[in-house]
């Protein structure tokens, strides 16, 4: 985490979610986006969750990522108390292996939008990238970093294709 004023708030329902969420933080760091990370439960510390969301914009945040498993009400609670974009990150686990958290995060009532990311290891990375894309709407330097990131991903795929094609030629 940087010492600059955070742009993104990463909120998780339990400290056990941190192992999954770390790649979100690492991705934000790779783009130079300052963030804060907190453990706040929608159910066990509801007043803290509401206050966090109500004061987020005043504290300088531009995007909130709400990560939770099980009932996964955190992102919705945060979204209900702010006008900032909230990205919901369902966490795998429990009896339904995360399907319950996916559906709980996804099924928001009209008027309380939560952009829901995928379960698994891609979710935290995509949440961070989505936050960067939102910030890049008004920050050309971040937009340039995103373009470079996408070009690097394309080069990786091209190299992988070249390896497969070379292997196929060996086999013929």
Task: Answer for the pair 128, 24: CB distance below 8 angstroms, yes or no.
Answer: yes
The pLDDT score that the predictor gives to residue 37 is 98
Distance CA 139, CA 161 (A): 34
**Which residues fall within 8 angstroms of residue 50, CB to CB, at 6 or more apart?**
77, 81
**Residue for token pair 């006008």:** 83
CA distances from 121 to 11, 13, 41, 142 (A): 17, 17, 22, 23
Task: Name the pTM for this structure.
Answer: 0.93
Tell me the average pLDDT across 18-34. Answer: 97
93 vs 39, more confident? 39
Tell me the average pLDDT across 85-104. Answer: 94
pLDDT for residue 2 is more than 60: no
pLDDT for residue 31 is more than 90: yes
Which band of pLDDT confidence, cut at 50, 70 and 90, is reported for residue 4? Answer: confident
Which band of pLDDT confidence, cut at 50, 70 and 90, is reported for residue 106? Answer: very high
Fold assignment, 8-138: Rossmann fold (3.40.50)
Task: Answer for the pair 2, 29: CB distance below 8 angstroms, yes or no.
Answer: yes
Task: Answer for the pair 40, 49: CB distance below 8 angstroms, yes or no.
Answer: yes
The pLDDT score that the predictor gives to residue 172 is 67
**Among candidates 95, 37, 97, which has minimal Cα distance to 67?**
37
The pLDDT score that the predictor gives to residue 94 is 85
| DSSP-assigned letter for residue 17 | G
């Amino acid at each position: 985490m940087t010492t600059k004023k955070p742009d993104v708030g990463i909120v998780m329902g339990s400290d056990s979610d941190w192992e999954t969420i770390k790649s979100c933080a690492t991705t934000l760091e790779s783009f130079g986006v300052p963030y804060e990370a907190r453990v706040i439960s929608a159910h066990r510390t509801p007043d803290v969750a509401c206050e966090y969301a109500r004061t987020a914009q005043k504290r300088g945040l531009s995007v909130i990522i709400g990560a939770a498993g099980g009932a996964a009400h955190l992102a919705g609670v945060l979204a209900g108390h702010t006008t900032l974009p909230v990205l919901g990150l369902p966490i795998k686990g429990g009896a339904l292996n995360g399907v319950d958290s996916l559906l709980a995060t996804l099924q928001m009532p009209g008027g309380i939008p939560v952009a829901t990311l995928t379960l698994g290891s891609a979710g935290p990375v995509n949440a961070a990238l989505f936050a960067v894309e939102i910030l890049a709407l008004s920050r050309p330097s971040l937009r340039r970093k995103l373009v470079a990131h996408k070009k690097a991903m394309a080069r990786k795929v091209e190299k992988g294709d070249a390896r497969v094609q070379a292997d196929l030629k060996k086999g013929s």
